[in-house]
């Protein structure tokens, strides 16, 4: 008998009754639930329950009718699934009953039909990890898999991946799984679910099947997903994925896209296959423009281009013979041909009244700084106001500019003419020839270096650079030898020229050769054989390192030898392991430095997280004073992470921590690493805080003359920089109490920050930083010592002033890197970073030199900055017609949008403006044609793009 609810009996009685008599009757609950259903739903529920009863009927005829009816109800409800379909919800209580009855059935078609239904019901009812949906599908009738709906197919694909992994570990057969995979992939490819098809094939390690299933409607989306996924895959899977994308592009004759992937894979056989597969001469010309932009040394043969005249024209395009002509056409079109002087960059006339009180100091150091500013701002324009002015055109000051510099300054001044005449081989060699007749060895050395700079990125059958420089490699004067060696390295970067190799390896083996000559020989060999893993060059550099004395190993220039060795393995990952083992036998003074340099170079642009962690581990160590290997480790973090956007963000965050908690030698390298991560892409807020804190601009500077000098340097080179966020400039404070103890640290880090700010503002335009730095220059203007600081202008010469803003740093990418991405295809396609190793090498050499500025950059080796010529590339879009003549067409230029995996035809740019070509492209910009009158022969509108008329275009009147 139930207790009286009003009774005051004890708690024990209440507990007992609550156990014996449930609070709610389950039958009543179900009845109430049924009452909540609509008449239509209730009828469906009762109908399905009847089907379940009939399925268990001994009459096969009734069973078949019931199964068919149930199948029809489920298929109708699961074709488009936004919530749990009602048939599956109503059949949930009967799932166990149907499973039990299935086990009692004999083998027949009816049992297979029931297995099909159980497979679908398991979609929502199966216990996690049981994979019952897959189990019953394999036991079922093997009908059309798509008839059960997309969600069922997706679930099945997930279970297949789990089952495949289990069978692989158990070494069980997988034939039945692969048959099912074929069906699922075919279904996905027909229903615009290409990413899911690719993911499944990656899980079952059979991506080759993809080539059979792509068609003309989906291959572009498929390949876009493949190339994007490759960034996040470990090796060698990433190369396999790109290989599949290459084959698909080739199958559908999308040769330009296939060429981009071939360049990334560094597979010249693929490049040759593309030329031989394509019969259209005009498209082959576009291929040549792409090869030229990526700086690839490639020789055409009869199989690729049969006609001799056509082959000659195409080879000239690859060799960049008329590159200067196109660049000057761009300059004239956007009206920037007028040469600029260093004063135009400094904008001294905008300083306030205090500026006029300062005396003008005409020192050799100031002139040297102006030389570099002049060289980079007028790079490629063929004229300036210092070096190319005729002797009778002025009072003589400009004509005698070369001799306003002293000793090694003359070398940089003479070489600056090569930068001004960049890429113009015919005119440039004629103008620089006069310096070869000088009696001053420094002038001759500069002329030799200038010859190399003029020929940078330009190939010529006559090899004028080799003909001119060859005789000077073995001269007695070290400066002349260095000029010739650097010239050869810059002119023949990436060409793997055996004739030059034999000459430079002989210098490495020469016991009497000066250390600086040996160091620059190693760097030039690394450039010429960049990314080649050449064993002979590697052995020569290793023996040269082993032959160095104890005192020489402590010299800054000796560290160029490990860098030259690292350049041989740039981006080659595991290929460096044998050389890395050999490096462990080196002297303790250089061993760790060599290890870090090799690791950083070998995994540059790969985004390898494990290597970044390894490098961070070395940076976390607190070492004794005098250790130098942590600097390359910091740079290595940036080099590895630079090609992928997420990696760049994580690296910046890690570098900020190093800046706060790292040792001084680490903190000095952090601004350099940040500059590399954001080169020519100034949209990084925190870096500005880092640099300004390093400059001490948020408080009274530790060393006023030095800070003023560095401030002026920043101003002169970031005059037009586009560092668009200044609100965080004062985020970090600067401790000025320990003035004496900290002055050395500040001295180094200030310069690193100057260089890095120049790097991130390279080729961009904005006046905000210029105004701030101009005010600081005015404040310190009376101190003439600050002008010494302008020497660092070339350190930032990659900044916005060079090329009057029309040239961009070309190694990063990509990420594009780079990055690099990436090469640094300005439309954010960082996939192709690896085809621009020479560009990255030029920047890396400069940054490694900046790790010891006092000995190299501020010392007599300031001309190291000219290695940056390797990374300079016009940030232009030039459209030409079928006869390769400039053709002006409207284009839309806007921020690139990631459309990977999006259905339909989404917009690839946003916030665009319409311009007429030629146009300039900034980092992150993408261009597309704004007219249907022409068809571009390249999918990426950057550099030279050939347009052909659209035969289907009709003018609208």
Tokens (6 digits) for 596: 């870090």
Q: What is the mean pLDDT of residues 609-618?
A: 90
Q: Who wins on pLDDT, 754 or 897?
A: 897
With 50 as the cut, is the pLDDT of residue 794 above it?
no
Cite the DSSP H helix spans in 821-915. Answer: 837-850
Q: Who wins on pLDDT, 21 or 628?
A: 628
N-term to C-term CA, the chain: 96
Residue that is written with structure tokens 């270096």 in the block? 449
Q: What is the mean pLDDT of residues 12-28?
A: 45
Residue that is written with structure tokens 């001119």 in the block? 468
Residue 339 neighbours by CB under 8 Å, 6+ apart: 378, 381, 383, 384, 385, 388
For residues 164 and 177, give the distance between their C-alpha atoms in angstroms, rounded to a whole number: 8
Predicted confidence at residue 795, as pLDDT, reads 32
With 70 as the cut, is the pLDDT of residue 792 above it?
no
pTM, whole model, 2 decimals?
0.80
Angle between the N-to-C axes of helices 664-677 and 685-695, in degrees from 0 to 180, rounded to the nearest 10: 140
Buried b (16+ CB within 10 A) or exposed e, 789-814: bbbbbbbbbbbbbbbbbbbbbbbbbb
> Taking a C-beta distance cutoff of 8 angstroms, is the pair 465, 492 a contact?
yes
Instruction: Give the torsion through C-alpha atoms of 622, 624, 628, 633, to 10 deg.
Output: -10
Predicted confidence at residue 490, as pLDDT, reads 94
Predicted confidence at residue 317, as pLDDT, reads 92
DSSP state of 806: T
Three-state SS letters, 365-420: HHHHHHHHHHHHHCCCCCCCCCCCCCCCCCCCCCCCHHHHCCCHHHHHHHHHHHHH
CA 81, chain centre distance (Å): 40
Predicted confidence at residue 651, as pLDDT, reads 86
DSSP state of 627: -
With 90 as the cut, is the pLDDT of residue 452 above it?
yes
CA-to-CA dists, residue 764 to 69, 809, 952, 953, angstroms: 69, 10, 39, 37
- List pLDDT tens digits, range 428-447: 898 998 889 888 899 999 99
- List pLDDT tens digits, range 167-197: 888 888 888 888 889 989 999 998 888 999 9
Percent of the chain's residues with pLDDT above 70 = 76
With 90 as the cut, is the pLDDT of residue 517 above it?
yes
For residues 663 and 629, give the distance between their C-alpha atoms in angstroms, rounded to a whole number: 12
Tokens (6 digits) for 325: 């002509």
Q: What is the mean pLDDT of residues 38-45?
A: 80
Predicted confidence at residue 756, as pLDDT, reads 54
Predicted confidence at residue 542, as pLDDT, reads 92
* Burial status of residue 82 (CB atoms within 10 A of its CB: 0-12, 13-18, 19 or more): exposed
> Taking a C-beta distance cutoff of 8 angstroms, is the pair 663, 701 a contact?
no
For residues 263 and 250, give the distance between their C-alpha atoms in angstroms, rounded to a whole number: 14
Residue that is written with structure tokens 């022409």 in the block? 934
Predicted confidence at residue 140, as pLDDT, reads 81
Tokens (6 digits) for 927: 């261009």
Predicted confidence at residue 399, as pLDDT, reads 44
For residues 718 and 656, give the distance between their C-alpha atoms in angstroms, rounded to a whole number: 23
With 80 as the cut, is the pLDDT of residue 474 above it?
yes
Predicted confidence at residue 539, as pLDDT, reads 93
Return left, alpha or beta for 495; rule: phi > 0 is left, psi -120 to 50 is alpha, else beta. alpha
Predicted confidence at residue 771, as pLDDT, reads 56
For residues 235 and 231, give the distance between their C-alpha atoms in angstroms, rounded to a whole number: 10
Predicted confidence at residue 831, as pLDDT, reads 41
Confidence band for 394, pLDDT divided at 50, 70 and 90: very low
Predicted confidence at residue 264, as pLDDT, reads 86
Q: What is the mean pLDDT of residues 747-775?
A: 50
CA-to-CA dists, residue 207 to 63, 171, 347, angstroms: 42, 20, 59
Least confident of 74-83, 359-368, 369-378, 685-694: 685-694
Percent of the chain's residues with pLDDT above 90 = 25
Determine the 3-state secondary structure of 153 from DSSP: helix
- Percentage helix, strand, coil, to 5, in the chain? 60, 5, 35
Predicted confidence at residue 451, as pLDDT, reads 94
With 70 as the cut, is the pLDDT of residue 714 above it?
no
Q: What is the mean pLDDT of residues 244-263?
A: 92
Mean pLDDT (the chain, rounded): 77
Tokens (6 digits) for 853: 């500025």
For residues 708 and 725, give the distance between their C-alpha atoms in angstroms, rounded to a whole number: 22
């Amino acid at each position: 008998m139930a207790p009286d609810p009003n009774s005051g009996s004890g708690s024990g009685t209440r507990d007992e009754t609550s156990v014996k008599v449930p609070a709610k009757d389950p039958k009543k609950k179900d009845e109430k639930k049924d009452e909540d259903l609509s008449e239509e739903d209730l009828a469906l529920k009762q109908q399905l329950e009847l089907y379940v009863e009939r399925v268990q009927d001994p009459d096969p005829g009734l069973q078949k009718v019931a199964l068919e009816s149930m199948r029809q109800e489920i298929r109708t409800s699961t074709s488009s699934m936004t919530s749990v379909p009602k048939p599956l919800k109503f059949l949930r209580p009967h799932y166990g009953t149907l499973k039990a009855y299935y086990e009692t059935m004999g083998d027949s078609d009816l049992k297979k039909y029931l297995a099909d239904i159980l497979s679908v019901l398991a979609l929502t009812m199966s216990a996690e990890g049981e994979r019952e949906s897959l189990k019953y599908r394999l036991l079922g009738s093997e009908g059309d898999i798509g008839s059960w709906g997309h969600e069922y197919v997706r679930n099945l694909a997930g279970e297949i991946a789990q089952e495949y992994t289990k069978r692989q570990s158990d070494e069980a057969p997988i034939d039945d799984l692969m048959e099912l995979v074929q069906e699922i992939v075919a279904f996905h490819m027909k229903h615009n679910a290409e990413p899911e098809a690719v993911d499944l094939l990656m899980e079952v390690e059979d991506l080759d099947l993809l080539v059979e299933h792509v068609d003309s409607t989906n291959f572009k989306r498929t390949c876009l997903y493949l190339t994007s996924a490759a960034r996040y895959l470990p090796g060698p899977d990433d190369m396999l994925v790109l290989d599949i994308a290459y084959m698909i592009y080739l199958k559908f004759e999308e040769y330009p896209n296939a060429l981009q992937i071939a360049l990334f894979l560094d597979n010249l056989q693929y490049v040759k296959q593309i030329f031989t597969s394509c019969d259209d001469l005009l498209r082959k010309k576009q291929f040549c423009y792409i090869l030229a932009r990526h700086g690839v040394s490639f020789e055409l043969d009869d199989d690729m281009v049969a006609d001799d005249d056509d082959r000659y024209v195409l080879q000239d395009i690859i060799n960049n013979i008329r590159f200067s002509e196109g660049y000057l056409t761009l300059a004239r079109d956007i009206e920037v041909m007028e040469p600029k002087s260093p004063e135009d960059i400094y904008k001294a006339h905008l300083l306030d009244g205090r500026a006029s009180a300062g005396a003008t100091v005409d020192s050799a150091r100031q002139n040297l700084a102006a030389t570099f500013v002049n060289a980079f701002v007028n790079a490629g324009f063929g004229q300036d106001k210092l070096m190319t002015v005729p002797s009778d055109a002025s009072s003589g000051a400009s004509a005698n500019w070369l001799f306003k510099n002293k000793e090694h300054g003359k070398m940089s001044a003479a070489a600056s003419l090569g930068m001004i005449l960049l890429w113009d081989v015919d005119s440039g060699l004629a103008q620089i020839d006069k310096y070869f007749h000088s009696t001053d060895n420094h002038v001759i050395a500069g002329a030799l270096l200038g010859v190399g700079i003029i020929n940078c990125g330009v190939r010529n059958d006559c090899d004028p650079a080799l003909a001119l420089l060859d005789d000077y490699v073995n001269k007695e004067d070290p400066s002349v030898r260095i000029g010739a060696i650097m010239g050869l390295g810059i002119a023949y970067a990436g060409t793997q020229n055996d004739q030059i190799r034999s000459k430079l390896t002989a210098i490495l083996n020469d016991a009497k050769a000066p250390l600086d000559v040996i160091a620059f020989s190693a760097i030039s060999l690394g450039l010429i054989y960049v990314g080649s893993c050449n064993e002979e060059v590697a052995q020569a550099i290793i023996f040269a390192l082993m032959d160095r004395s104890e005192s020489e190993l402590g010299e800054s220039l000796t560290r160029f030898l490990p860098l030259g060795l690292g350049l041989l393995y740039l981006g080659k990952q595991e290929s460096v392991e044998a050389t890395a083992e050999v490096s462990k036998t080196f002297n303790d003074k250089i061993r760790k430095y060599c290890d870090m340099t090799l690791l950083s170079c070998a995994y540059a642009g790969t985004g390898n997280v494990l290597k970044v962690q390894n490098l961070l581990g070395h940076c976390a160590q607190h070492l004794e004073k005098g250790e130098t290997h942590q600097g390359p480790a910091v740079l290595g973090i940036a080099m590895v992470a630079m090609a992928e956007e997420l990696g760049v963000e994580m690296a910046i965050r890690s570098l900020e921590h190093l800046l706060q908690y790292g040792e001084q030698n680490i903190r000095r390298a952090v601004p350099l690493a940040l500059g590399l991560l954001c080169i020519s892409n100034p949209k990084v807020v925190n870096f500005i805080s880092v640099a300004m804190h390093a400059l001490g601009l948020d408080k009274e500077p530790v060393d006023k003359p030095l800070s003023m000098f560095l401030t002026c340097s920043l101003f002169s080179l970031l005059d037009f920089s586009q560092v668009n966020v200044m609100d965080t400039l004062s985020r970090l404070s600067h401790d000025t109490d320990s003035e004496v103890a900290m002055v050395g640290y500040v001295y180094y880090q200030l310069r690193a920050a100057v260089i890095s700010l120049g790097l991130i503002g390279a080729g961009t335009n904005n006046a905000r930083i210029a105004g701030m730095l101009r005010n600081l220059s005015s404040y310190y203007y009376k101190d003439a010592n600050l002008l010494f600081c302008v020497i660092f202008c070339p350190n930032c010469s990659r900044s916005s002033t060079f090329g009057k803003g029309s040239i961009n740093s070309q190694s990063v990418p990509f990420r594009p890197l780079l990055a690099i991405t990436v090469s640094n295809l300005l439309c954010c396609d960082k996939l192709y970073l690896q085809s621009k190793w020479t560009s990255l090498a030029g920047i890396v050499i400069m940054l490694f030199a900046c790790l010891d500025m006092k000995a190299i950059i501020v010392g007599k080796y300031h001309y190291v900055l000219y290695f940056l010529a390797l990374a300079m590339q016009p940030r232009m879009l030039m459209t030409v017609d079928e006869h390769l003549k400039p053709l002006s067409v409207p284009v839309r230029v806007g921020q690139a949008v990631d459309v990977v995996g999006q259905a339909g035809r989404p917009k690839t740019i946003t916030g665009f403006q319409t311009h007429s070509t030629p146009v300039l492209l900034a980092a992150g910009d993408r261009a597309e044609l704004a007219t249907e009158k022409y068809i571009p022969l390249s999918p990426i509108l950057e550099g030279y793009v050939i347009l052909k008329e659209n035969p289907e275009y009709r003018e609208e009147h």
